Structure 1
Amino acid sequence: MKKRILKNPIQDKSNGFLDSFVGRKVKVYRGGPESKEGTLLYGNADYLALHLEKEEKDLSNIVYYHTQHVRSISENSKSNSIQKTVINTMDQEVIDTDSFSEVVYRLRNKKVKINQGGPEATDGYLLDSTTDYLVLFTEKDGIVYFNIHHIKSVREFIQQEGEETEHSMTFFPANKFEDLFKRMTHTWVSINRGGPEALEGILVEIEEGNYTLINNEEVLKIQPFHVRSISPGSKGSFDQGEKEDSIDDEKNSNHSGDRETSGNRSSDRRSTSNRSSDRRSTSNRSNRRNTGGLQHRDDERTGRRDWREKYKREKVVKSVDYEWKPVKEY
């Protein structure tokens, strides 16, 4: 495996206790879905940037951690003390700013992964970001609003050739995360993406800043600050709606094709019938010219016979239609 050695470690504005780790191999978190190993590129009081040695498909090698959620950073001193030959230098750009919310803001209009694992791990297109929340468009739930204070990490996807980077989706504008709740009152919402704290129901404001979620007989009190994410509708409803629309479009397309095919067949049959009729008419005219008056007399006799047969059939039909049926006496 190739070893990537930091070429020019960023050390300005870094947090005091992280200075000694910058440019060295460390492990962020000792375990769990957020645990990653790599080279620390940057760290300050609000976030740190970690370059991963193990590459993951379609994902950038740089993970940005929200420092306030990082429980531990460990270093293998023995491994870091071994002298290594520089095999490859890293030339990837690292977002150098003051806060984690500013890092997220720089990733707008890009596909990102929110958290590296766990029930709140979600990927989608970052539509907007403020110092308090971010707006993510996901294929499963549509628009989802994340409380930025509860996000543990963010990571960018590698943009594929021809991939759309801008999505024209409407969402609620608000200054703070809690203001979104007022815009979603008296509607069905989904709170948190997964885990035991995932809830669904009708959102109702009971007093300023406090809400209840009603689902059948269950009534739950909610404070927006402790909510990790919220989205209108039930979880997975956006994906289900997209599938239903796709099925309807396919059915309409098939029906249109069937009607067109049926119309073509009818037109073909009419055209064939017209050609046959023309051939019969031409043949009859030719035969009449060839046979002359003799054929004319035969036609008259044939016509009289046909009339007699028709008359007989009509009489029989009439006798059947008006057949007398005696009434039974009781």
Structure 2
Amino acid sequence: MDKEMLHSLVNSTIKVDRGGPESRVGKLLAAEEDHITVLTAEDGVIYYYTHHIKSLTVNAKNEVQLDLQVPEDFVFIQAKDYKSVLKALQYKWVKINRGGPETLEGIMDEVHDDFITIVLNEEVIRISMFHMRNISYGVKIEKSKDDENANKDDEKAKKAEGNKK
């Protein structure tokens, strides 16, 4: 992906990929040489390795919705390259690859030039950096109780509407 094009989309609501387990809607927080940083409602901050991104959809006609307000003091890891992001995540609980059979969660242990190690229970797992599509860690924006109650009310209204038909 073109770095200048990505920089022009910072602070926009985007959809990464058209579908599938890696696809997410979020706010593009940063675009660097080999990765982008996206804030999503479901998973918090996700770092996508750009050579695995097939497409980006921009919120041109409000078809891509993100029900999330980003606080001014929101802090996330920023680094010049993907490997530096990984080093900053050392000893944190991470989730690698969002869906499908390659999803993995655990403690980031070591970061090498070509692979990382994740510790999960009794296992030490080595993952090739080339095959990592994305990574996230525990930073999320908590929805207020008012937002949660409004979502529950919306769901009840939709169910009631469906029962009337």
TM-score range, shorter chain: 0.7 to 0.9
Report the CA distance shift for 1:211/1:125 in structure 2 as closer, same or farther (over 3 A).
Answer: same
TM-score of the superposed pair, with normalisation by structure 1: 0.39
Report the CA distance shift for 1:205/1:105 in structure 2 as closer, same or farther (over 3 A).
Answer: same
TM-score of the superposed pair, with normalisation by structure 2: 0.75
- Aligned residue for 2:82, secondary structure, equals coil
- Conserved in 2, the CA contact under 8 Å of 1:212 and 1:221? yes
Runs of 4+, deviation exceeding 4 Å? 163-166, 206-209
Report the CA distance shift for 1:164/1:214 in structure 2 as closer, same or farther (over 3 A).
Answer: closer
Report the CA distance shift for 1:153/1:197 in structure 2 as closer, same or farther (over 3 A).
Answer: same
Distance in 1 (alpha carbons) for counterparts of 2:30 and 2:61: 18
Q: What per-residue deviation string (whole Å, max 9, x for no partner) do you get for residues 133-170 of structure 1? A: 0010100111111001100000111365xx99983332
Question: Following superposition of structure 1 onto structure 2, how do residues 251-330 of structure 1 map, counting pairs within 5 Å?
Answer: none
- Conserved in 2, the CA contact under 8 Å of 1:178 and 1:209? no
Q: Does 1:174 align with 2:79?
A: yes
Counterpart residue number, 1:108: 10
Question: Following superposition of structure 1 onto structure 2, how do residues 1-330 of structure 1 map, counting pairs within 5 Å?
Answer: 100-158=2-60, 167=70, 168=72, 169-205=74-110, 207=112, 209-233=114-138, 238=140, 242=142, 246=145
Report the CA distance shift for 1:145/1:189 in structure 2 as closer, same or farther (over 3 A).
Answer: same
Matching residue's letter, 1:217: E
Structure whose CA Rg is larger: 1
- Aligned residue for 2:14, secondary structure, equals strand
Name which structure has the greater RCO, CA cutoff 8 Å, separation 6+. Answer: 2
Report the CA distance shift for 1:131/1:219 in structure 2 as closer, same or farther (over 3 A).
Answer: same
- Conserved in 1, the CA contact under 8 Å of 2:86 and 2:111? no
Identity %: 36
State the aligned residue count: 143
Q: What per-residue deviation string (whole Å, max 9, x for no partner) do you get for residues 173-220 of structure 1? A: 211111111101111000011011110000111655532111112321
Report the CA distance shift for 1:165/1:219 in structure 2 as closer, same or farther (over 3 A).
Answer: closer
C-alpha RMSD over aligned residues: 2.9
- Conserved in 2, the CA contact under 8 Å of 1:191 and 1:229? yes
- Conserved in 1, the CA contact under 8 Å of 2:14 and 2:58? yes
More strand by share: 2
More helix by share: 1
Please, which runs of 5 or more residues in structure 1 have no aligned partner?
1-98, 251-330
